[in-house]
Amino acid sequence: MKIDILSIFPEMFSGMLSESIIHKAIQKDIVNIQVTDFRRFAEGKHQVVDDYPYGGGAGMLLKAQPIFDAVEDVKQANIKPRIILMDPAGKPFNQKMAEEFAKEEQLIFICGHYEGYDERIREHLVTDEVSIGDYILTGGEIGAMAMTDSIVRLLPGALGNADSALFDSFSSGLLEHPHYTRPADFRGMKVPDVLLSGNHAKIEEWRNKESLRRTFLRRKDLLGTYHLSEKEEKWLLEIKEECEEGKR
């Protein structure tokens, strides 16, 4: 996969590219990530990338020309890239979207600053407008980093254990179950006996039920779109009864 990030602050990405899973994926040629300062595509002596909005108003807008030219420069031949505009008005980013983007050959992120973008960028250039949450950041760089991390870890070979991404929270539609490691007894706090039993069928059942329990307790909204099996419906009733019993 090829990922291009357009930003007027490219140095912000140096840490992300030189550490952890992303760095390893780059070393293994799983992904090629390039950060481009789109200011160098701006016309004129001073390479200005923003201007006042027509009709007046507060703040400055990113001009269309530098961004259009930068996108045209980084686009790979014979590939139709997904061009992602980081914007608080975009669709909320989620795991399903990360899985969709991970199948693409090229992604181009546009990181904005100032008050916003010339509307022609939205209408005639980008394929996706995405937000990482209902809050405002100084620019799109942090959002692009978060999305890049989420997408790269899904690429084949990026994680040491190929099954890790399959069991992440949200990948199955539910939150991930609790995890424990050694020692089995830490300051009187013990690992559930089932995890020490060696009975893999029982362990898998415990994990699935606890995944459902955690989702019910923390993110009931996810259950609205999740199709429960007969066994999961039975577990959910048990979980609800246990919760009611705990309130008494």
Residue 203 marked as a ligand binder: no
Is 168 tagged catalytic? yes
Residue 133 marked as a ligand binder: yes
Q: Is 7 helix (H, G, I), strand (E, B) or coil?
A: strand
Contact 67, 126 (CB under 8 A): no
Residue 15 marked as a ligand binder: no
Residue 56 marked as a ligand binder: no
The amino acid that residue 157 corresponds to is G
Is 87 tagged catalytic? no
Q: Which residue in the list 69, 149, 168, 205 is annotated as catalytic?
A: 168
Q: Which residue in the list 118, 129, 153, 210 is annotated as catalytic?
A: 153
Residue 221 marked as a ligand binder: no
Is 153 tagged catalytic? yes
Contact 27, 56 (CB under 8 A): no
Q: Which residue in the list 115, 149, 176, 205 is annotated as catalytic?
A: 115
Give the span between the Cα atoms of 96 and 132, in whole angstroms: 13
Give the span between the Cα atoms of 48 and 77, in whole angstroms: 28
Q: What angle do CA 99, 132, 177 make, to 5 degrees?
A: 60
Q: What angle do CA 236, 240, 241 make, to 5 degrees?
A: 115
Residue 132 marked as a ligand binder: yes
Is 39 tagged catalytic? no
Residue 136 marked as a ligand binder: yes
Q: Which residue in the list 69, 88, 99, 207 is annotated as catalytic?
A: 88
Residues flagged as binding site for S-adenosyl-L-methionine: 112, 132-137
Residues flagged as binding site: 112, 132-137
Which residues are tagged catalytic?
88, 115, 153, 168
